[in-house]
Amino acid sequence: MKTQTLTEKIACEACGTMLKIDRSLAGKRVACRCGHRFRISPDHFAETVLASDVDPGHSEPSTQNSSIASLDNDDDVARVEAVRHAYEAMRKQLSQVIIGQDAVIEQALIAMLCRGHVLLTGVPGLAKTLLVSSIAGALDLSYKRVQFTPDLMPSDITGTEVLQEDRASGRKHFQFVEGPLFCNLVLADEINRSPPKTQAALLEAMQERRVTIGDTTHVLPSPFFVMATQNPIEQEGTYRLPEAQLDRFLFNIIVDYPSPADEFRVIKLATSDWQPELQPVLNAEQILALQQTVRRVPAADHVITYARDLVQATRPRDPQAPAFVREWVAWGAGPRAGISLVMAAKARAVLHGRFHATTTDVKNVAMAVLRHRLVTTFNADAAGIQRDGVISKLLEYIKTPQKQQEKE
């Protein structure tokens, strides 16, 4: 006789958060929202309930979520399959709202699997904000939107200490009030409309996943993502993002105009009474498990070598830099770019159902990783040479190792 899967609430050993764990995870390790991973003992569960005690008309819940949550096993094939199924489910949900822009959706999901942040660049009306809010709707995560304006202060997003008085004793004390950064997914809308001091308030949060107020450090929820948007047309009343700020973004994704067929669908759906309903596909625990899976994906030495050579070729002072780089590039990408290339290549490989990263994966993500990490010279600007043009020429210049040619 079959049995029904039971669930129990088990406290995290690190932070004490109560996690809802099903019986299929007995003896396996799970991840808490705080990032701590621990093994579930079979003794935690109560007696098995027989299937005959369950309403026969009630169907059993999908096992997809439990399979994702139990990714800390030795079956790498199952781990990759779980990531691929999660990606397909996410893409199916987002396709209800975002018409076309498949490459943008894929790159945004790759960044989330890499624990990276995303900068979306595009003219108004291309659904940049809608994309981020739709991703939040397809994930069981806390979400906040911050509209960046010239008068926005750092404490408006990080939080501040407020003086409080204890009515019983009359004593006064400072109490920290959390800002909108204390959530899993933050939309920094029109980030270039705020002055550099407010933009810099995101630096520690994006890099360290924490916020320091006074002499106290507050840890942000895990996972934590920043998705920022900016308008490349308007220059009046905007502030260019500092290079250190840009380097914290894994991807700079260009959101382009839709094709005629996609724009037709956009107009048709936007002028109808159809309202899509997004269903959460993943929660925080499952995203953390997927991120760990991506880190387990192997990348051969020649793939890492190719990523390194590509990054080093962007530096005009490097002896191996090509002549066009020395003429068009003032400052090249740093080591964080190479790390981002390999991590994003691993995530892309898993999303496509493969078990190792290839140089083709590196080439595919190179544009989004490098375009915001290069500083062009006056000669390039005068000749109308864009950063994407420099990167395209680099991809043609840096050759893949001949004896390590790969096929997708």
Structure tokens of 198? 């407010």
Lowest mean pLDDT among 29-38, 209-218, 292-301, 339-348: 29-38
The whole model's pTM is what? Answer: 0.77
CA-based nearest residue to 250, from 228, 234, 272: 228
Give the CATH number of domain 81-282. 3.40.50.300
Highest mean pLDDT among 41-45, 111-115, 169-173: 111-115
pLDDT at 346 over 90: yes
pLDDT band, very low/low/confident/very high, at 47 (cuts 50, 70, 90): very low
**Domain edges within the chain:** 3-61, 81-282, 297-408
Structure tokens of 341? 């290339």
Tens of pLDDT, residue by residue over 117-163, are: 999 999 888 888 888 988 888 888 899 999 999 999 998 999 888 88
**Whether CATH 1.10.8.80 fits 297-408:** yes
pLDDT at 51 over 80: no
Higher pLDDT, residue 33 or 170: 170
Q: CA-to-CA distance for 34 and 13, rounded, in angstroms?
A: 10
Orientation of helix 387-397 relative to helix 359-370, angle to 10°: 160
pLDDT band, very low/low/confident/very high, at 342 (cuts 50, 70, 90): very high
The answer to whether domain 81-282 and domain 297-408 are alike in fold is no
Residue type, 350: V
- What is 246-282 written as a DSSP string? HHTEEEEEE-PPPPHHHHHHHHHHHTSS--------E
Tens of pLDDT, residue by residue over 237-254, are: 788 888 888 999 999 999
Tens of pLDDT, residue by residue over 90-100, are: 888 888 888 88
Instruction: Give the mean pLDDT of 330-354.
Output: 93
CB 390 within 8 A of CB 324: yes
Q: Average pLDDT, whole number, for the chain?
A: 82
Structure tokens of 35? 């990032």
Query: Tokens 């308008």 label which residue?
Result: 231
Higher pLDDT, residue 5 or 186: 186
Q: CA-to-CA distance for 144 and 135, rounded, in angstroms?
A: 12
Q: CA-to-CA distance for 306 and 357, rounded, in angstroms?
A: 12
pLDDT at 9: 67
Cis peptide before 61 (omega within 30 of 0): no
pLDDT at 49 over 50: no
Lowest mean pLDDT among 7-16, 56-65, 102-111, 166-175: 56-65
Cα distances from 188 to residues 132, 149, 245, 377, in angstroms, run 10, 10, 13, 29
